[in-house]
Amino acid sequence: MVDESVDVALRIAPLPQSTLIALLIGEVRRLLCASPDYGKNECSCLCFQPGIVIFHLDPDAVAASCPHVFSAESHYPGIALPRIEFNAPVTVCYALAALAATILPVQGKLAIHGPIRLLDGDFLLSLCTWTLAHGGMTHLLSNFVVILLAGPLLEDRFGSLRMLGVLITASVLVGLAHCVLDPGGGLIGASGTVFCLIMLTAMLAGRSGTIPLTMLLVAALYLGRELMGLFANDGVSQSAHILGGLLGIVLGLVMRGGSSARHPASRRS
């Protein structure tokens, strides 16, 4: 569509995962209708997918003669039964992995510790795992409520591969920065990733070449609070939060531009 200079298109079909920005303006339901005689004589032919079969005959008789094709959807064609969709696979799998890492006694092994050791395999692995471990269920829930809200929006817009890249980039860069700033302490938790996703989502609200006012408000509220508590000795790594938020702003600028071009105790973060 971009190559053909198409600005707006109407698509009457399920939209596959893509970088297209879509807005639902209505629904078109497929209806397959059959006469009573056809339903009586060719009952087994009424199994069609996708679509909804509308029976113009007694539904009780249909249920008795053809139970394999009778359902509430055909009995009550005006009611669309909801179904669970496995959306945002990267975000969902990330949340499940964090849940497992928090329940199991592996926090110490997954935490990242300074100094930087690029030839140490355990250290390199911890660059990608430290955001999974949390100090408890309260710590986990406070982070992943936000991730499960912002993550699917970003993954639906940019795709699962880019979403995975954002999560890995945040984990690696914030982890390395922590090892430089606090080489003697360990770090666990996805709060740096949370701040990255918050600021990234806020940046995407504006047009290319502009800074959204809402992003400035979010930065003032979230990052301003972290700056005020930067020197507090509360076991929380405010520096990881700030670095994650700054990274989200940078990623927002990069990804927004690319989108328009295409039309000792572990500290908790």
Residue type, 99: L
What is the three-class DSSP state of 68? coil
pLDDT (tens digit per residue) in 22-68: 777 777 776 666 666 655 554 444 444 444 444 444 555 555 555 54
Q: In whole angstroms, how far apart are CA 252 and each of 60, 224, 243?
A: 57, 19, 14
- Calculate the CA 104 to chain-centre distance: 24
- Cα separation, 250 vs 254, in Å, equals 6
Dist. CA 205–CA 211, nearest whole Å: 9
The predicted-structure confidence for 125-177, as pLDDT tens digits, reads as follows 999 999 999 989 999 999 999 999 999 999 988 999 999 999 999 999 999 99
pLDDT at 86: 85
- Which domains, ranges and CATH numbers included, belong to the chain? 31-75 (no CATH), 89-268 (1.20.1540.10)
C-alpha angle 219-221-222 in degrees, rounded to nearest 5: 70
- The DSSP annotation for 99-155 comes to HHHHHTT-HHHHSEESS--TT-HHHHHHHHHTTT--SSHHHHHHHHHHHHHHHHHHH
At residue 172, the pLDDT reads 95
pLDDT in tens, 180-231: 988 888 889 999 999 999 989 888 876 767 777 888 888 888 777 777 766 6
Kindly state the helix (H) or strand (E) to which residue 236 belongs, with its residue range: none
